[in-house]
Chains A and B, each alone.
Chain A
Amino acid sequence: MSKKAFRPDVDAPEWKGGHSPYDIIKEGSIAIAVVLILTLILAVVFGSPDDPAITLKSWSTTAPVDFATTALSELNGTSGTATYGAPYNSQNSSASQQLGPLKLEYWIGVHIPINTAKVFVINPLKALPGQPALDKDLAVFQNASASAKTAWLNNYTKAAANMKFLNNQVVVNASDAGPVPLMINDLTQMARSGALDEALLTGDSFYTTDYTDSLLFISDGSYLGQVAQADHLTGSQWGMMNETGSWPGQAWLWLYTFWYQVSPMNSSSNGDVEVLAIMLLLTVGLTLMPFIPGLRSIPRKSKVYRIIWREHYQNQTKD
């Protein structure tokens, strides 16, 4: 029977030298203790970031015009969420991200259906108790013909370019806008009171921790982007690896966020799925590294192991 040739990166040679005892439990325990002590010391010395969450209440209090303008875009169907396509609504397939010919978002379909006018504006307003004028206007809006609604929304949207917030009221000099002015103003008041946060948080389960609706609404406005920009957290600022304040962030995400800085991902409407594909490819490459000729030889050829076990190799040379 012929003996197979030794393959340097695949076969392990039989060890014929000496052996020494090694207590991995002891080493692991020491490592855990050191990490625990370091964590406690660093927590006491530097603390940790604890910025208050941005809510619909804080947004509408700080930037009421931005909130009201965004609420209008949810009502007239022009917001980012309303025009996003899958998974939120059935817009045309070109609105969804795709990887070459693979229309991934479109194929997965609408599994978080959101009609922004109903979910973000009409339903929360309906939930407000003791508002006869609003109830009447909501009924008028819902029973109106599609053309009447469109006309009201168009008239209000045109005038909303000069929207102001005066004396705690949304002021828009719109004519023939039907019930829209009252709806937008009341939703703004509702948000400023904190009631809209509660209305959008309510879910079907016992624990109401599903913030999807609130977060989508907030992200449709420009306030969140401005806060993120100021904290160096946006995609173009390598924000994925940053933290608020002067704390270190997720430095290990450098490669993920790096791809967002280079062409074509930095200007592509499919940037997210393209970066995801690159990282998946690299992860598969890393996982299969022992099976990839050339790549698997790097540890042997770079000889870093000889630095770690230099004493052994020095003794070997002496012998």
Chain B
Amino acid sequence: MSSFLIGALINLNHPDHYFQWHIFDISAANAIVIILMLATFIGALLLPFPGRRRRKENQ
């Protein structure tokens, strides 16, 4: 029961997949994190500021 309570919903305790190209070698997990970081950055650039519509209506 205790192991169920402290266990994660998704088990990542197994060997990862690695992408290799020339000298580059990256794990799938790191690639996903980097893609998410880039997506967050692009989102921060392109998505409208929260509350912009409300400010416009007040103007």
Contacts and interface: CB of A to CB of B under 8 A. Distances in A.
B29 interface: yes
A44 B8 contact: yes
B30 A47 contact: no
B41 to A, nearest CB: 10
Given A249-B27, A251-B33, A261-B23, A47 B15 contact: no
Contacts, number: 75
A46 interface: yes
B2 interface: no
Interface residues of A, number: 27
Interface string B1-29: 00000011111111111100001111111
Nearest to B49: A311
B7 to A, nearest CB: 7
B29 A248 contact: yes
Nearest to A232: B18
Interface of B is mostly: mixed
Interface in A231-262: 231-232, 237-238, 241-243, 245-249, 251, 261-262
A17 to B, nearest CB: 14
Interface of A is mostly: loop
Nearest to A51: B13
Contact of B46 (A232, A241, A307): A307
Contact of A45 (B8, B15, B33, B37): B8
B52 interface: yes
B16 A46 contact: no
A20 B52 CA distance: 12
Nearest to A43: B8
Contacts of B54: none
A245 B14 contact: yes
B25 A243 contact: no
Given A49-B13, A304-B45, A246 B23 contact: no
17 contacts: A45-B10, A46-B10, A47-B8, A242-B30, A243-B27, A245-B12, A245-B13, A245-B14, A246-B14, A246-B17, A246-B27, A247-B29, A248-B29, A248-B30, A248-B32, A261-B23, A311-B52
